[in-house]
């Protein structure tokens, strides 16, 4: 359970880094899917990080200075609407339950914001993220400017509040780490379930990618995850060579590999796992060669993800293994240094080895400092490690590798002493996958 104390601490940290001025942080809008049906609602990650509040139509105001204030604007209690749409806290209960200094109705926003913006030197706001909010904030600022002759001044600088919060979000608290561990566990068991299911059904004709998707979605929801963390990829055979394939509607063929990239969202926190396994439960020789190569690269990349190493160390470690393998398997020509230098490996490995993970699957936070140096990993960072190999048919490629697409992805928490793989329960060695699919695990 996310405690008020932690929420107040997050807001205090931001108020301290603001120094002076006012921050305005709206949550996400509800979005119409068609006619009067909405997409499932998802709060804004910055707003949620600072408030823990999940209702739409809410906004956080932080006022820095000698007497820091955190103020929530939210929907009023409305028994009539609650009969239709469900519970709302209302300002009074929200103030105490989430530890704000004050809370008001959203109805008071246009009246109160010009007053709160008056005589503030700086405005911290995510300009450009939402044009409707930009217009509304501009309207409030113009109201303040209209009062210039009465001696009131408007903020002279607008700074991106996300820059400051990103730094906080990069280091996960013990609560966040525990939630991400749970999210990782649920997703890991979901991948195991999908593998087991394909193993059991591999003799079935017309087994579709979406039938496998249904298996891991079942496991997500059954264990309390609120949603998939991103659009799932269930890619049989050549589909795995399309990096963002998500039609998930093809038949799975005996002799092909199946790549699944799927994670869940638990209390706002994403997991992000990819596993690749043979539809018929047994890797062919060519599949095993490339699979073991990617797995070796991933293990080296995970070992390189530790406190004090720079962000790119994992990518470099993965490339080192992959490029040597590509040369050994006659996918690339030349020495390792030559192939690294001329980028020939990009025909088969064209993405990077990971990203920050947290409230967003591609989470907040810089990868380089202002001087252009890679960030140095710190305890509390969470990142993915996800090397791959994607072989499309081509004249320069041995035919037995054609249409093999492999990625292996885990979520890694950096600790004081090294790292913890949050998704370690998803099986990934050749022997463990074959055993699980044969029903021996």
Q: Any idea which residues carry the catalytic annotation?
A: 36, 244, 261, 272, 351, 355, 362, 386, 390, 407, 409
| Contact (CB, 8 A) for 69 and 99 | no
Strand order, beta sheet including 227-228: 227-228, 264-266, 269-270
DSSP assigned state of 310: B
24 vs 359 by CB, closer to ligand GLY: 359
199 vs 387 by CB, closer to ligand GLY: 387
Half-sphere CA count of 123, side-chain side, radius 13 A: 23
147 vs 227 by CB, closer to Mn ion: 227
Q: Long-range contact list for 345-349, CB < 8 A, 24+ apart? A: 345/319, 347/394, 348/322, 348/389, 348/390, 348/391, 349/319, 349/322, 349/387, 349/388, 349/389, 349/390
Cα three-residue angle 25-266-380, rounded to 5 degrees: 75
179 binds, among ligand GLY, Mn ion, none (CB under 5 to 8 A by kind): none
Report how far residue 230's alpha carbon sits from residue 209's, in angstroms, rounded to the nearest whole number. 17
| Contact (CB, 8 A) for 287 and 275 | no
By beta carbon distance, the residue nearest ligand GLY is: 261
Cβ 409 to ligand GLY, closest distance in Å?
6
434 binds, among ligand GLY, Mn ion, none (CB under 5 to 8 A by kind): none
Question: By rule CB under 6 A, what count of residues binds ligand GLY?
Answer: 7
Cβ 18 to ligand GLY, closest distance in Å?
31
Cβ 244 to ligand GLY, closest distance in Å?
9
Strand order, beta sheet including 157-159: 102-105, 69-74, 59-63, 22-26, 122-124, 157-159
Tell which phi-psi region holds residue 86, choosing left (phi > 0), alpha (psi between -120 and 50) or beta: left
Binding-site member from 361, 382, 408, 433 for ligand GLY (CB under 6 A): 361
- 435 by Cβ neighbours in 10 Å (0-12 / 13-18 / 19+) ranks as middle
Binding-site member from 175, 221, 230, 367 for ligand GLY (CB under 6 A): 230
221 binds, among ligand GLY, Mn ion, none (CB under 5 to 8 A by kind): none
Name the site residues for Mn ion (rule: CB under 5 A): 261, 272, 384, 409
Cβ 355 to ligand GLY, closest distance in Å?
6
Cα three-residue angle 186-187-188, rounded to 5 degrees: 90
Cβ 410 to Mn ion, closest distance in Å?
10
143 vs 275 by CB, closer to ligand GLY: 275
363 binds, among Mn ion, ligand GLY, none (CB under 5 to 8 A by kind): none
10 vs 407 by CB, closer to ligand GLY: 407
| Contact (CB, 8 A) for 242 and 350 | no
Cβ 436 to ligand GLY, closest distance in Å?
22
Buried b or exposed e, range 35-44, using 16+ CB within 10 angstroms = eeeeeeebbb
Subset of residues 237 to 266 that bind ligand GLY, contact rule: CB under 6 A: 261
Subset of residues 374 to 433 that bind ligand GLY, contact rule: CB under 6 A: 386, 409
Give yes or no for residue 55 binding ligand GLY (CB under 6 A).
Answer: no
Site for ligand GLY, rule CB under 6 A: 230, 261, 272, 355, 361, 386, 409
């Amino acid at each position: 359970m996310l405690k008020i104390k932690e929420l107040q601490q997050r807001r205090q940290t931001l108020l301290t880094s603001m120094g002076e001025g006012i921050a305005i942080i709206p949550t996400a809008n509800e979005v119409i899917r068609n006619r009067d049906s909405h997409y499932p609602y998802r709060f804004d990650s910055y707003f949620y990080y600072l408030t823990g509040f999940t209702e739409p139509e809410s906004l956080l105001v932080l006022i820095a200075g000698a007497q820091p204030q955190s103020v929530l604007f939210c929907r009023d209690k409305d028994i009539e609407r609650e009969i239709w749409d469900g519970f709302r806290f209302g300002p009074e209960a929200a103030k105490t339950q989430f530890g704000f200094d004050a809370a008001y109705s959203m109805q008071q926003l246009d009246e109160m914001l010009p007053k709160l913006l008056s005589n503030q030197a700086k405005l911290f706001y995510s300009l450009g993220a939402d044009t409707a909010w930009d217009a509304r904030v501009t309207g409030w600022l113009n109201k303040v400017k209209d009062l210039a002759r009465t001696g009131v001044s408007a903020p002279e600088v607008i700074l991106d509040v996300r820059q400051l919060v990103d730094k906080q979000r990069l280091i996960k608290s013990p609560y966040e780490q525990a939630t991400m561990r749970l999210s990782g566990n649920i997703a890991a068991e979901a991948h195991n379930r999908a593998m087991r299911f394909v193993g059991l059904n591999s003799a079935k004709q017309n087994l579709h990618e979406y039938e496998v998707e249904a298996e891991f979605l079942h496991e997500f929801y059954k264990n309390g995850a609120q949603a998939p963390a991103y659009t799932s990829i269930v890619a049989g055979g050549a589909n795995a060579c399309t990096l963002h394939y998500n039609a998930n509607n093809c038949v799975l063929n005996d002799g092909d590999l199946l790549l699944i990239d799927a994670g869940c969202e638990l209390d706002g926190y994403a997991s992000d796992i990819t596993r690749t396994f043979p539809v018929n439960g047994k890797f062919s020789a060519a599949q095993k060669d490339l699979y073991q190569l990617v797995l070796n690269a991933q293990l080296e990349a995970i070992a390189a993800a530790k406190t004090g190493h720079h962000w790119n160390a994992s990518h470099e470690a993965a490339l080192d293994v992959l490029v040597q393998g590509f040369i050994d398997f006659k996918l690339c020509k030349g020495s390792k240094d030559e192939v690294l230098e001329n980028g020939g490996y990009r025909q088969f490995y064209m993405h990077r080895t990971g990203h920050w993970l947290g409230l967003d699957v591609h989470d907040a936070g810089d990868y380089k400092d202002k001087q252009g140096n890679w960030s140095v990993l710190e305890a509390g960072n969470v990142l993915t490690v996800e090397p791959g190999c994607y072989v499309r048919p081509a004249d320069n490629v041995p035919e037995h590798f054609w249409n093999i697409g492999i990625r292996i992805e885990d979520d890694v928490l950096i600790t004081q002493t090294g790292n913890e793989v949050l998704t370690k329960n998803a099986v990934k060695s050749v022997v463990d996958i074959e055993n699980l699919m044969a029903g021996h695990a």
